[in-house]
Structure formats: structure tokens, C-alpha cells
Chains A and B, each alone.
Chain A
Amino acid sequence: EVQLLQSAAEVRKPGESLKISCKASGFTFTSHWMGWVRQRPGKGLEWMGIIFPRDSDTKYNPSFRGQVTISADKSSDTAYLDWSSLKPSDTGIYYCARHPLDPFSDSSGYYYDFWGQGTMVTVSS
């Protein structure tokens, strides 16, 4: 059974750093692109970027490039999203999700077939 288990909710102050995780199981982690999606309170879904864990090839939405870092650890089948200096505008729920196929060699793999449960990040002084 495919599962994406995300780390627990976090509360931080502006300027602090944070790294949240997404532990994959039930599939070959290194064979699937993994994405991160933000949802601010009461708002829609924003695509942040994706990573291919086999070689850590990463692609960012230009709106998020330089604001976050996406990484992956093949040895633990875990994807990460981290911030070096949080802002109040980073408050929201962050979801990891799996592409069923490589979207760059098969464009039909662009969507997300499995999602994590989400990690709520609150940034407030």
C-alpha cells in the first residue's frame, strides 16, 4: 500500500529555520518524482516544486525558488522541504505528493496520484 507520512505540525517564529519531512512506503521511492504543494489558510493549492530522489534532480516553481529547498534521502525514502528563514507568509499546510510516472518522459504522469496528510506550519511572533 502506497503511503506518504508527513511530519507533525510545527510552530516557529519569523526568521527561524525549519525542515519538514515526507516518509514514503509501499513503492520504489527512487522511481517516482515527488512534489510539494502549499495551501495557505482558506486558499487554493500552489505547486512549489518536485524532486527525483534517484539523482536529486530538482525543479522549482519560480515563485518558490530561493525561498525553500527541496531534498530527498534515498536511504530513508524520505523527501524534505526546508526553510532557512521563515516568514509569516509561509504559514499554511504543506503537502507532499507522488507523480505516477516521469512527467518529463511521459507527459501523462503530470498529476499526483497519492498525497501525504499534510503538515501545518505556523509562523508567528
Chain B
Amino acid sequence: EIVMTQSPATLSASPGERATLACRASQGVGSNLAWYQQQPGQAPRVLIYGASTRASGAPARFSGSGSGTEFTLTISSLQSEDFAVYYCQQYDNNWPPLFTFGPGTKVEMK
């Protein structure tokens, strides 16, 4: 089973700053990595899929990179609505198939 880790657990930053979030897989997942944002009290929404493809409606300040086991989500200039929890998700196509989420990174206002 592929284990996902995310760092840091909490990121304290100010509006306008650049934020870099990391996601690591215990085994290679190719580019099968997605990033989600979850606001308090809301369902998650996809921001990035295929490691670097921005989803429809995701602002251009969000970008994703990486492949294999190391991935990064970058928010170029934090806006007030970006303070939320971010999850990565991978697809393990071994048996049984698993669509595992990472533990999340909370981006909080400094």
C-alpha cells in the first residue's frame, strides 16, 4: 500500500506571500496526483490533477509540479480565500486499487 505524507502539517503565512506545500508518496505514482482545497464546512474541490494540470475554475495562482514520489503545490500569492486545508490524492493501481488521500496541510493566516 502506498502511503502519502504531506508537509508541513500547518503553514502560517500572510496574504500576498508565496506558499509551497509538499506531498510525498512511499512509492512512485507517476503523475497520478491531485490536489484538493477544503474550506471549513465545505466539501473538497479539486485544484490540480495529473500533478500539474489546473482544474476548471482553479485560479492561476495555483500550480502543481512533480512526478514519481515528490510533488509540490505552489500558491504564488496568498489571497484571503486560500486559507484552508489542502489534500493530495494518489491512485495506486495495484490490487486492490486505492485512491488514497494525504493527511493534509492547513494553511493559516499569520
Annotate A34-56 by CB proximity to B: 1 below 8 A, 0 otherwise.
Answer: 01010000001111001000000
Q: Does A59 make an interface contact (CB < 8 A)? A: yes
For chain B, residues 38 to 85, give those with C-beta under 8 angstroms from any C-beta of chain A.
38, 43-46, 49-50, 55
Give Cα distance in the complex from A36 to B91, angstroms.
15
Annotate A59-100 by CB proximity to B: 1 below 8 A, 0 otherwise.
Answer: 111100000000000000000000000000000000100000
- The total of chain A residues at the interface (CB under 8 A) is 24
Contact status A107-B93, CB under 8 Å: yes
Give Cα distance in the complex from A37 to B100, angstroms.
10
Q: How far is the CB of B93 from chain A (nearest CB, A)?
A: 6
Contact status B45-A115, CB under 8 Å: yes
Contact status B43-A95, CB under 8 Å: yes
Contact status B43-A111, CB under 8 Å: no
- Of B32, B93, B97, which is in contact with the most chain A CB atoms at under 10 Å from its CB? B97
Contact surface of B with A, Cβ cutoff 8 Å: 30, 32, 34, 36, 38, 43-46, 49-50, 55, 87, 89-91, 93, 96-104
Contact surface of A with B, Cβ cutoff 8 Å: 35, 37, 44-47, 50, 59-62, 95, 103-104, 107-108, 110-113, 115-118
